[in-house]
Structure 1
């Protein structure tokens, strides 16, 4: 990769800097063989596109591209002649609707500076995956295809209701005095996070604590994969529980930490509590968990000498969290997926993602199918733990699946064998696709 692709803003020509400062339009500057198009949108969000000299007419638009250095997969696409760019989430945050409109405004700026693309593809990871899917759903007149990776595609309201379930069960069973935050997360998020991590670490040292952590994980459909224990045998209840604990609290970027930070932020952004568990029967929520999960929970409760029925009764007897209806309405408007897609869409998820839990993909598939659009969707899965933990090879293989669909009008083979063959040939990291269908989303 020539160094010229990634030279810093210090190399932008003086004329381009003047244009950017004056906000008269997008700044365009050549960096060796590439052209950089950058500036700020109407809400001050930064945008940036890299356009190779041999641009092939396709542009990728990504929520997070302007906020940091390009990934190996993004560099590979630029080397192949694709323009790549996008915005940042720094201004919009959890206001997903505004972030979607920013993608279109950034695409307008790109078009103004470079010319009308032959096709535009919305792409992104994590919240960027949600934005990519929403942009394709809302703007099929501008977006020709979508690659949504590790996004919470059950939608904003449902995924945060499920996170509330997890924390609520933990609170009732491990913090009966209610000292740790569930919905009213303080501004000192780090202290809240550390307090929860400490309580969970203590609980993990006892059979009773491990059983109760397992119950919360099963209800919340956390992955029983962690960065230290991948794909544990469900017949080994201790290993399965340890993997759950890794996803919840033991791994980098633990589930409980994100449950604190994003809960605090979203409550502020939407002006109230946008989640609830009024009317939820946690006996029923456990019944909705996978058979493997239920067996592990039962085995751990037996080993600890605890009554599962009594603990579920304790959870159900807890004072419930009520939502602010106006906040729910604003949260849903920021975007709830309908399944009414009209452009080819590929999703890419790793099954051990502790933040965008993989069961959400089942909900997205169901909505797309019910809307009559299943032929436009292909979902792919990677055997790894950690949030958005893909190799560049896996990302490019999924991208090639989408590009082939756009080129030919037909889906090529999306099975794991073919995807791994494609990824392996790239020599850009491991190829770990496998056949998988997520559990039914329970919230």
Structure 2
């Protein structure tokens, strides 16, 4: 059987660009930043939370204590605890996803809020003290809120014991926060330390900084297929409108699927391989609205919008596959790859620090608590390859027995049914509390992932445009 991660393209991508360029494999980057360096762009930005926006409505017919406020670090928060006698003594921390580049900080209640309360769990969520892709503040501020839980209750007139167990879950960038929070490196280096009992990262950036290599490779490939560069880095010649004129007969949108030209099909093949290989719903994802979200990252530098000081991303050694066959190179592919503009990442772009976790915390696959992850198969923004990278790293570090992964047959980013979320949470809880390890999907065997019924076991509803699963598979 063929392992998706080690096809020709992915091997070159991950070994050439990720391990060396991004230093996101376990223990590969031990440079320590003492803090004596130039100020990052992120350090110059100002953020604030509007306290009046923190309030949230009660659940109909359910008595709880609901508290909001602003931490000393500037992060807003929401906390909800079941009524006296109904709390089971445990806490779920929720980590929100990417909030863009604005100055206003906002808090979201978790999608499973009512479910957590009905099962006796308290929950808490932070706005984080910054926006942008600042996973460092996501981890540190979520941990700080968990540590403040008892004090917040006391300030609001309720005496609580420290939670007997704390779990963590999150979506997208919040999935990165979730996965990073349980890592051995984070446990050792975080300024605010929390020992989590289990985790459910959903549609998460669990491959860590590979995400930024992927975005670079996607947008570079789009330019090159359209014969429009790139000729520099950052790609100052990036012009999405002109590129789209070459790649699409009908441009993708959230309202309708795009119709690719022959050149567009070549890009589709490149992205298929770079994002996880043949799998159900990939085509819907590539031809949908998230194409524009990914292309919107074109032309950026490698500092992740000022989160870092140096270039994180690179494409040295990456082989772009035009025809969907990653095991063989055609003369056209050879010419394409030889003429591609190449970028070398700085291996010291994201070093260890002595004042908390890295600017972009590592996901090394070094953890020792139950993890149940969920991922949309056709997700184009945070692609399924993240789960493959996560699995490989966990195996390399002896943590794979603690990782269960589930594929969901849908293409929009973070598009889950409530039943799918509940099933994953319940599975993690049963595993952590009772020792019952749940079932999951094989995410790395190419023939398994490419099967037309892949993902049926844990998908609870058929999505529009996605073939229904046989009744015997679900």
Report which structure shows greater RCO (CA 8 Å, sep ≥6): 2
Determine if contact 1:218/1:294 at 8 Å carries over to the other structure: no
Aligned length: 366
Q: Does the alignment pair 1:153 with 2:183? A: no
Question: In the alignment, is residue 271 of structure 1 matched against residue 271 of structure 2?
Answer: no
Contact 2:70-2:76 within 8 A present in 1 as well: yes
Q: What is the 5 A alignment of 1:17-416?
A: 33-53=63-83, 54-64=86-96, 67-89=106-128, 91-114=130-153, 115=160, 116-137=162-183, 138-139=186-187, 142-156=195-209, 158-178=210-230, 183-184=234-235, 197=244, 199-202=246-249, 207-221=261-275, 231=280, 244=283, 246-248=284-286, 250-252=288-290, 254-257=292-295, 259-260=297-298, 266-278=304-316, 280-282=317-319, 286=321, 293-294=324-325, 308-329=330-351, 334-414=360-440
**CA separation in 1, counterparts of 2:96 and 2:119?**
21
Where has structure 1 moved over 6 Å in runs of 4 or more?
203-206, 222-225, 261-265, 415-418, 431-436
The Cα of 1:52 is off from its aligned counterpart by 1.9
- Cα distance change of structure 1 residues 109 and 78 upon mapping to structure 2, 3 Å threshold: same
- Counterpart of 2:248 in 1: which secondary structure? helix
Answer whether contact 1:167 1:216 (CA < 8 A) is retained: no
Asked if structure 2 preserves the Cα contact closer than 8 Å seen for 1:378 and 1:414, the reply is yes
Corresponding residue SS for 1:43: coil
Preserved contact between residue 82 and residue 121 of structure 2 (Cα < 8 Å): yes
The worse-fitting range, judged by mean Cα deviation, of 391-400 and 334-343 is 334-343
Which SS does the other structure have where 1:78 is aligned?
helix
Change (3 A) 1:270 1:185: farther
Q: Is the partner of 2:66 in helix, strand or coil?
A: strand
Task: Tell me by how many angstroms 1:122 deviates.
Answer: 0.8
RMSD: 4.0
Does the Cα contact within 8 Å between 1:203 and 1:210 map onto a contact in 2?
A: no
Task: State the alpha-carbon separation in 1 of the partners of residues 298 and 261 from structure 2.
Answer: 26
Where 2:199 maps in the other structure, the secondary structure is strand
Equivalent residues of 2:138, 2:174 under 8 A apart: no
Deviation track 1:167-199 (CA, whole Å, cap 9, x = no partner) reads 2222122043549x973579xxxx966565555
What displacement does 1:75 show? 2.2
Q: For the residues of structure 2 that align with 1:309 and 1:63, how far apart are their CA atoms?
A: 47
Q: Conserved in 2, the CA contact under 8 Å of 1:382 and 1:434?
A: no
1:412–1:249: structure 2 CA closer, same or farther, 3 Å change rule? closer
Residue 302 of structure 1: aligned partner: none
User: Within 1, Cα distance between the matches of 2:471 and 2:128?
Assistant: 31
Partner-residue secondary structure (3-state), 1:123? strand
Structure showing the higher helix proportion among its residues? 1
Change (3 A) 1:413 1:223: closer
Does 130-139 or 199-208 show the bigger shift?
Answer: 199-208
Which segments of 5 or more consecutive residues in structure 2 lack a partner in the other structure? 1-51, 98-104, 154-159, 188-192, 252-258, 442-454, 462-467
TM-score normalised over the length of structure 2: 0.66
Report the 3-state secondary structure (helix = DSSP H, G, I; strand = E; otherwise coil) of the residue aligned with 1:381: strand
Partners of 1:185 and 1:148 lie apart in 2 by 35
The alpha carbon displacement at 1:154 in A equals 1.4
C-alpha contact 1:368 1:374 (8 A) present in aligned 2: yes
Partners of 2:173 and 2:469 in 1: CA distance = 23
CA distance in 1, matches of 2:471, 2:371: 19
Which deviates the most, 194-203 or 376-385?
Answer: 194-203
Is this contact kept in 2: 1:222–1:354, CA < 8 A? no
- 1:316 Cα shift? 2.2
Contact 2:312 2:345 in 1 (8 A): yes
- Further displaced range: 203-212 or 337-346: 203-212
Q: CA deviation at 1:384?
A: 1.2
Q: Following the alignment from structure 1 to structure 2, what is the Cα–Cα distance between the partners of residues 399 and 350?
A: 16
* Structure 1 unmatched runs, 5+: 1-6, 13-30, 226-230, 233-242, 299-306, 425-430, 437-443
Asked whether the equivalents of residues 49 and 83 of structure 1 are also in contact (C-alpha less than 8 Å), the reply is yes
**Conserved 8 A contact 2:312-2:347:** yes
Residues in 1 aligned to 2:241 and 2:128: alpha-carbon distance in whole angstroms:
26
Equivalent-residue separation in structure 1 for 2:121 and 2:128 (angstroms): 23
